[in-house]
Copies of this chain bind each other. A is one copy, B any other.
């Protein structure tokens, strides 16, 4: 059995099959395989050839496979379709994906397709596309299964059976009153276990976990994760049910947020929102990355001015320049580490803004340990690996070692605290903590580090 599965997954190039049975074989393949597997398969063809293969299939199966194609590919395919074919595809798609795709096709194409859709479908697209980006409303789907509280368990199952083909899921059904207000929910499991004649209102769970249309989509996804839900109902301002977010969308939202967090952390702007790495041009990549890099390079010039200010000191003690890269790197590394820990703990709700003093106390300790350890290493480097032949007579190697070790220790402690503090401040200002990206932090602690370094050197060396 398993061999057969592997085989069908490996059918890479369908056109290798003899021409005669081609269509039949493809139909058989579509019926037995997961639509995502079929989509991957025809994704390597041109959009026109892919459509030629899909066209003879039964419309709902065709729409299911189409839904699993890459977005770019879907758009290209739609652009070449006749109005009627395009409208038929749209009719059978899941409502949330249909609304998202509709927004991405060219406006003239939208105007051609819209009149070919049924009134209810037009309304649905209009409604679903009206919500602001990143809200629960913008990711929900309207093809949920509502139930009346008066049905019996067996009537409810019969009802779900009938509506199943048009619904995103029938495993969770929502019990609504006359104003479409959410009274409770039942799972198909509840209905099957229950007495056949028990009423839905008796079986249902009246305490429903839900989201509001205006909630952040990531918060909604985290609710699905926290409560192990198959779907989360979404209500509008009047507490009426308007849609659901399903677990598979929650996984995608969480993955997307991960990517965005990581990119924000590395000061790359909005790159994964539109296209994948390989489909974005070098120019697009450049635009996404240049902003922060230039801003930070300009900020990095501040470090340059500090160095310039202490030029005399550097000429007198050339060994100080030797430790500048290590000081900058170590400050950046320790600061980025504490920032990463705090950003992630905030995202996972392990800590909140009110824990600020607990966090700073902890990071101060971690910074102290790291600072002591690194200070000792730097002192050892100065004493044992010299490079201090040309120091002024009045100064000892020992004093230089102490100055550098103290400056490094202080730099590490400061960087660790700044790294922990900035994400908390960002969070307190209702900004995403990840904006205090590692590159920005590195540049900031570079500046503080150099100030600490030269001031400490002047103090200890008495110049």
In the complex, are the beta carbons of A324 and B325 less than 8 A apart?
yes
**Interface residue? A104 (CB, 8 A):** no
**Interface residue? A193 (CB, 8 A):** yes
Distance to closest chain B CB from A247 (angstroms): 5
Number of interface residues of A (CB under 8 A): 126
- Identify A267's interface contact among B277, B285, B337, B374, CB under 8 A: B337
- Identify A323's interface contact among B207, B292, B304, B333, CB under 8 A: B304
Interface membership of chain A positions 443-463, coded 1 if the CB is closer than 8 angstroms to chain B and 0 otherwise = 100100010000000000000
**Interface residue? A210 (CB, 8 A):** yes
Distance to closest chain B CB from A307 (angstroms): 5
Residues of A267-319 whose CB lies within 8 A of B: 267-268, 271-272, 276-278, 282-283, 285-286, 289-290, 292-294, 296-298, 300-301, 303-305, 307-308, 311, 314-315, 318-319
List the B side residues contacting A224 at CB < 8 Å. 251
A197 to B107, CA, bound (A): 50
List the B side residues contacting A182 at CB < 8 Å. 1-2
List the B side residues contacting A332 at CB < 8 Å. 332, 439, 442
Which 3 A/B pairs are nearest by Cβ-Cβ distance? A303-B325, A277-B345, A282-B365
Distance to closest chain B CB from A40 (angstroms): 9
List the B side residues contacting A277 at CB < 8 Å. 341-342, 344-345, 350-351
Given A189-B170, A276-B350, A324-B324, does the pair A290, B369 have CB atoms closer than 8 Å?
yes
A-B contacts, 24 listed (Cβ < 8 Å)? A5-B208, A8-B207, A32-B207, A34-B207, A160-B192, A225-B251, A225-B255, A228-B248, A230-B247, A262-B344, A265-B340, A278-B355, A282-B363, A289-B370, A290-B370, A293-B333, A297-B326, A298-B377, A303-B325, A308-B319, A311-B322, A314-B318, A329-B446, A332-B332
Interface membership of chain A positions 367-389, coded 1 if the CB is closer than 8 angstroms to chain B and 0 otherwise = 00110011001100100000100
Interface membership of chain A positions 152-195, coded 1 if the CB is closer than 8 angstroms to chain B and 0 otherwise = 00000100110011000011000000000111100011001100
The residue on B at minimum CB distance from A188 is: B188
Given A277-B350, A289-B366, A301-B381, does the pair A206, B1 have CB atoms closer than 8 Å?
yes
**Interface residue? A82 (CB, 8 A):** no
A188 to B318, CA, bound (A): 76
The residue on B at minimum CB distance from A303 is: B325
**Interface residue? A36 (CB, 8 A):** yes
**Interface residue? A96 (CB, 8 A):** no
